[in-house]
Structure 1
Amino acid sequence: MSFIEKTGKTVDEAVEAALKELNVLKEQVNIEVVEESSKKFFGLFGKQMAKVRVSLIEQMREAADKLDEFADQLEQEPVLETSDSDNVDKVSQEQAVEMAKDFLQNIFKNMQLEVLMEKLVAADGVVTFNLHGKDLGILIGKHGQTLDSLQYITNLIANKNSNQRVRIVIDVENYRSRRVETLTTLAKRLASKVRRTGERVVLEPMNPHERKVIHLALQEDRRIVTNSEGEEPYRYVVIELKK
């Protein structure tokens, strides 16, 4: 998608919505005002919303395309399934994590991004690389799709020859926790609408992790039930009243 269009009560509100969806800064995009907000018929029949068309500047789009192309190439590479008789040197978990770190640093270098990598190790052994720096919205992508792809590939790299399973989480400026808060707030707001109107609400397609956030946010609501419907990668959550 070369651009997105958003509406709002004002141009600034529409632009802010577009920037939030793209996970980028205002300096990283081109903004075209499609429609200014205005009152209709002397204000008697509502107000016309402002509409903007927002696209990534060429340099950002080329970098994003390069990352997606590189991700596709890696995903197509077969992951070797080895046995004890295979002449493949296994590496320790620590070495596997270092391999993942080197892989990420190489990605950032090719994208000409200056990234500070903060390594966190949880009690259950999960390793999180929280990335800090400027203009890192490109690593997140729409609703975290690019970030999820990068995390998936990094785990493939780390576990290819590891002697034990390693789980690595990639995050950007604590985006994942902020995304959980956003989804939780959205779920409760939509559940309130369902209780008020009695009509079911269908959310946009989400990955399994984000669907789980919606389900967990509303699992204690006695009047609401949530279900996942559709087929991957377009599976979505439906919120409706319990029958």
Structure 2
Amino acid sequence: MKEVTVVGQTVEEALQSALKQLQATEEQVEIDILDEGKKGILGLFGRRPASLKVRMKADPIREAKSYILSIAAHLGVHPDIQVKRQGKKVFFSLSGEKIALLIGKRGQTLNALQQLTQLVINRHSNDFIQFQLDAGDYRKKREETLTALAKRMAEKVETAGKTIRLEPLPAAERKIIHAALAGNRRIDTFSEGTEPKRYVVIAPKSK
């Protein structure tokens, strides 16, 4: 329930009724006074109740959670969502049964859901919010996997002296590869190709 129309003997009484129905505080709603009402003569004759239309203010976090839960429900998943906010950055962490269905092969489902939720959360926000979505600590595990891969491939490049091209990766994962090898002065890393098939190249350091 996001909007109600209520009546009461006074505007305040009608408002309190609306807040109870919406389970909200006055700061969380927008109020349209349809009729301020009328006390009537001696409080009896010609009396008219006050009428209000009260709606919930847009809440980007609430809208984002609702969106994710609706998508998950279609997949038969009902995750718990932990929310962490740091300034204009918002992090959602999902947990629960069948969570792998929200991750998908190599995080493809999770990445797609993150991009779509990013649009939803900013549609309801006056300021741009940077959104990140994780499920079952996948992001951390994936970072560890990519870091290990980067170091193995770098060793091969150093030993054989030949360039290696990795499989296409999302921008965030390419960044992990670059960061993992940034301190290696014997190799160069750079990205080639166009999205969504852009990939990392690990090459011997140019002499």
TM-score normalized with structure 2 length: 0.69
- How far apart are 1:240 and its partner, in Å? 1.1
| Counterpart selection for 1:179 from 127, 142, 149 | 142
Please name the residue that 1:101 is paired with. 65
Larger radius of gyration: 2
Could you tell me which amino acid in structure 2 is paired with residue 238 of structure 1?
V
TM-score normalized with structure 1 length: 0.59
Instruction: Map 1:80-229 to 2 at 5 A.
Output: 95-122=59-86, 124-229=87-192
Conserved? CA contact 1:96–1:166, under 8 Å = no
CA deviations over 1:148-207 (Å, ceiling 9, x no partner): 110111111111132111222110011111111111111011101111111111100001
Please name the residue that 1:78 is paired with. none
- How far apart are 1:109 and its partner, in Å? 2.0
Structure 2 CA distance for aligned equivalents of residues 201 and 160 of structure 1? 41
SS in 2 for 1:131: strand
Could you tell me which amino acid in structure 1 is paired with residue 70 of structure 2?
N
Could you tell me which amino acid in structure 1 is paired with residue 128 of structure 2?
R
SS in 1 for 2:201: strand
- How far apart are 1:138 and its partner, in Å? 1.7
SS in 2 for 1:231: coil
Could you tell me which amino acid in structure 2 is paired with residue 96 of structure 1?
P
Gaps of 5+ in 2: 1-54
Structure 1 CA distance for aligned equivalents of residues 103 and 124 of structure 2? 27
SS in 1 for 2:106: helix
Structure 1 CA distance for aligned equivalents of residues 73 and 175 of structure 2? 34
Could you tell me which amino acid in structure 1 is paired with residue 79 of structure 2?
V
Structure 1 CA distance for aligned equivalents of residues 95 and 146 of structure 2? 23
CA deviations over 1:117-136 (Å, ceiling 9, x no partner): 111223x4311111101221
Structure 1 CA distance for aligned equivalents of residues 172 and 163 of structure 2? 22
Gaps of 5+ in 1: 1-88
Structure 2 CA distance for aligned equivalents of residues 149 and 239 of structure 1? 27
SS in 1 for 2:91: strand
Conserved? CA contact 1:201–1:240, under 8 Å = yes
Aligned length: 152
- How far apart are 1:139 and its partner, in Å? 1.1
